[in-house]
Amino acid sequence: MVLPVHMDLGLFLLRLGLGIIFLYHGWMKLKTPGMMAKGLGWQSWQVFLLGLVEVLGGLSVLIGVYAPYGALVFVLVMIGALYFKIVKWKTPFFAMDKMGWEFDLILLAASLAVFLGNVGVYALLP
């Protein structure tokens, strides 16, 4: 499908933002898995594995190499994050003293948009 130029640019910017966010968050998990594990109540290897998935998925979405598959991984990660925040930790949607789950919800929506939509022309392997 041929999209107008502004649509391709919008899709690229969406992928750019999503990729950068997951790259950064994944990198922080890879750098300090022990510290992150304590905060989550997980084992260090679980945090490290999640960080690796986020970094690889972030690169995939960012440069457009099998971006829908990277975005699908993000959909699963964000469903897990929302489950922990809403069900396990009883976090409110917007929390003043800690991070609510509004950011997780928008990341899920953006990931779904990349997964279900066209990646546009600004991708290495659309």
Residue 124 lies in a domain: no
Describe the chain by its helix, strand, coil percentages, rounded to 5: 75, 0, 25
Read off the amino acid at residue 73. Answer: V
What is the pLDDT tens value at each position of the chain, 126 positions in all? 566 768 888 999 999 999 999 999 999 999 999 998 998 889 999 999 999 999 999 999 999 999 999 999 999 999 999 999 999 989 999 877 778 999 999 999 999 999 998 888 889 886
Compute how many other C-beta atoms are within 10 angstroms of the C-beta atom of residue 108: 19
Q: Is 58 part of a structural domain of the chain? A: yes
Q: Taking a C-beta distance cutoff of 8 angstroms, is the pair 63, 122 a contact?
A: no
Structural domain range at position 81: 5-116
Asked, for residue 121, whether it belongs to a domain, the answer is: no
Sign of CA dihedral 8, 13, 19, 23: positive
> Looking at the 3D structure of the chain, how many domains does it have?
1
Q: Tell me, yes or no, whether 65 lies in a domain.
A: yes
